[in-house]
A and B are shown apart, each in its own frame.
Chain A
Amino acid sequence: MFTNLYQLNLKWIIRDRVLQALVGVALLLLVLVPAFSVLSMRQVQELSITLSLSFISFVLALLAILLGASSVWRDIEKRYTSAVLTLPYSRGSYLLGKFFAIAVCLVCSAAIFTLVAAVAISFSSGLYQSSLPIRWLHIFTAVAFDVLKYVLLVAIAILFSSISTSFFLPIFGTISLLLAGNASQEVFEYLTKDSVGVKTAKPLLYAAKGIYYLIPNLGAFNFKVSAIYPVALSSQGVIYTLLYFLVYTTIILYLAVYFFSRREFP
């Protein structure tokens, strides 16, 4: 039942120009990594890893926002909804079908990008001997958590799509949450846990705490440090972040289904 919708959406994504163009851009950028990396005098390998991870992250972000925000909106805009939502599907499976199709697409794209990036990094590291070994497991973990981060973002885009009639909230709401979610940890720490003793006004502090717990903590998904520099990968961090991802995404999807089920299509 549900697999139908999922396959339908996969077909849509694969035939969509957005995906084709973005995958093209990503592969081009990754191929150029060795050329960019030699710009660094001392840390060619580190730079090649940094660049590869950044390019992958950037393209995945674009994919997540464009596919996530446009999928539901486009169906409404082109009046596909009156044909699809009147099939014997629940509204929930319609939304989840979209979500899982985009999620799988992100995973597959990331897998391809990582493969190309691996070649680019190996090649770059051959150009200048680094004192650090390349730790592939750490690199793969960093990409994997990037994917999880953007899957969570897709859920958010779908939540926005489920309540909005226009394109604006899904696109700009998702972008704002991406930016805010990436910065929330740093800002929160700047305002609260300060060894120097910045005095933040009490109401502001409560507001900051509220927002910090409300918005997705996307900074937590950043495992790039241990992929680039000799920092141990914390297994505790991996587990907590994974749990956080599961719970947060489920809540977002739950809300999306809740609102979408109540929505009318006059």
Chain B
Amino acid sequence: MKALEITGLSKIYKTKKAGVVNALSDLNLVISSGEVFGFLGPNGAGKSTTIKAIMGLIKPSKGDALIAGVPASDPHSRLNIGYLPENPSFYDFLTGREYLYFIGTSFHMADNLLKSRTNEVLDKMELSLAADRPIRGYSKGMVQRLGLAQALLHDPEIYILDEPMSGLDPLGRALVKNLIKELKAHGKTIFFSTHITADVEAVCDRVGIIVNGELRAVDKVESILEKGITGYNIHVRTGGDISLFSGFDFTERDSGILEFYTSRALFKQFMEIVVHANCEVDLVEPVRKNIESFFLELVEKR
């Protein structure tokens, strides 16, 4: 089941000053149901453009986006989406509760369900105390949390979150990360954009990296991490004979433990020596580039 299917999506802006700007060129992406997908890219890379095209706020110059099989140009496609805009702002003359009521009725929720769900999401987003105050008086973090609350309210299958962690303090960030994990556990699909690599590592199944309007890489977070392994740190207890290990760097520790580093290519050879020498292995630890360096490499590659 494909939750989101983007084919050949391009967006060209014609401006008087800069001429033709390719905000997005030929983006192809399929997000399957139940997946947490992180959309990573520097500022101005085209993350928001993609999301706005999915949400029908802008019209792609080419290509199209299907949401659970329904074209994004059809308002019905949004019935199954919980959307959090980037730096959201909501009708500030309403109270938080009134706003959620408006959202709930917009998604045809029955009154009873709406009332109980409202309390639930307000509680979850720690907004219960502020619920009956006008949004005008909310702090930035509170508005962001209200944004998440309104995305959660109708319990959609697909979540599209544009920079969900921005504007939040560390507590709020933890709240969002836990929320995403919880939604994933319930089998929901989450597509979120971010420019913070640690967020991706923490919660995503897959990640797409977009730079200058082009999708540079799409891969499983696991396999990026695995591919990123450059070598291993290995702690070995030897009987004293270390001549077998000639050619490998090591540092000696107090308690007769030798700390080796081997490159990925030599790992097998090293382990054979270990077996041959009949040594005891205390620790094998992969040394790898994290997503951040992977990301930086992609961004710098022209």
Q: Which residues of A contact B (CB under 8 A)?
A: 1, 4, 8, 11-12, 15-16, 78-90, 262, 264-266
- The interface residues of chain B lying within 8 Å CB-to-CB of A83 are 85, 88-90, 147, 150
Q: Which residues of B contact A (CB under 8 A)?
A: 13, 49, 52, 55-59, 75-79, 81, 83, 85-94, 98, 102-103, 105-108, 147, 150
- The interface residues of chain A lying within 8 Å CB-to-CB of B78 are 86-88
Contact of A266 with B75 at beta-carbon distance under 8 Å, contacts A79-B89, A80-B89, A83-B90 already known: no
Contact of B57 with A4 in the complex, beta carbons under 8 Å = no
Contact of B52 with A88 in the complex, beta carbons under 8 Å = no
Complex: A12 Cα to B77 Cα, angstroms: 28
- The interface residues of chain A lying within 8 Å CB-to-CB of B102 are 4, 8
Complex: A265 Cα to B86 Cα, angstroms: 13
Contact of B91 with A86 in the complex, beta carbons under 8 Å = no
A-B contact pairs, 17 of them (CB 8 A): A4-B102, A8-B94, A11-B98, A12-B93, A79-B87, A79-B89, A81-B57, A82-B86, A83-B90, A85-B57, A86-B81, A87-B78, A264-B58, A265-B57, A265-B58, A266-B52, A266-B57
Closest partner residue, chain B, to A90 (CB atom): B75
- The interface residues of chain A lying within 8 Å CB-to-CB of B98 are 11
- The interface residues of chain B lying within 8 Å CB-to-CB of A81 are 57
Contact of A266 with B59 in the complex, beta carbons under 8 Å = no
Complex: A90 Cα to B105 Cα, angstroms: 15
- The interface residues of chain A lying within 8 Å CB-to-CB of B88 are 79, 82-83
Top 9 nearest A-B pairs by Cβ distance? A82-B85, A264-B58, A86-B55, A265-B57, A88-B78, A88-B79, A15-B93, A87-B106, A79-B89
Contact of B75 with A262 in the complex, beta carbons under 8 Å = no
Q: With a 10 A CB-CB cut-off, give which of B52, B81, B106 has the most chain A CB atoms.
A: B106
Closest partner residue, chain B, to A82 (CB atom): B85
Contact of B75 with A80 in the complex, beta carbons under 8 Å = no
Complex: A129 Cα to B49 Cα, angstroms: 71
- The interface residues of chain A lying within 8 Å CB-to-CB of B75 are 88-90
B188 to chain A, nearest CB (A): 18
B268 to chain A, nearest CB (A): 53
Contact of A264 with B106 in the complex, beta carbons under 8 Å = no
- The interface residues of chain A lying within 8 Å CB-to-CB of B83 are 86
- The interface residues of chain B lying within 8 Å CB-to-CB of A87 are 78, 103, 106-107
Complex: A8 Cα to B92 Cα, angstroms: 12
Closest partner residue, chain A, to B83 (CB atom): A86
Contact of A11 with B59 at beta-carbon distance under 8 Å, contacts A82-B85, A86-B85, A265-B52 already known: no
Complex: A8 Cα to B13 Cα, angstroms: 33
Contact of B93 with A264 in the complex, beta carbons under 8 Å = no
Complex: A167 Cα to B298 Cα, angstroms: 43
- The interface residues of chain B lying within 8 Å CB-to-CB of A88 are 75-79, 106-107
Closest partner residue, chain B, to A87 (CB atom): B106
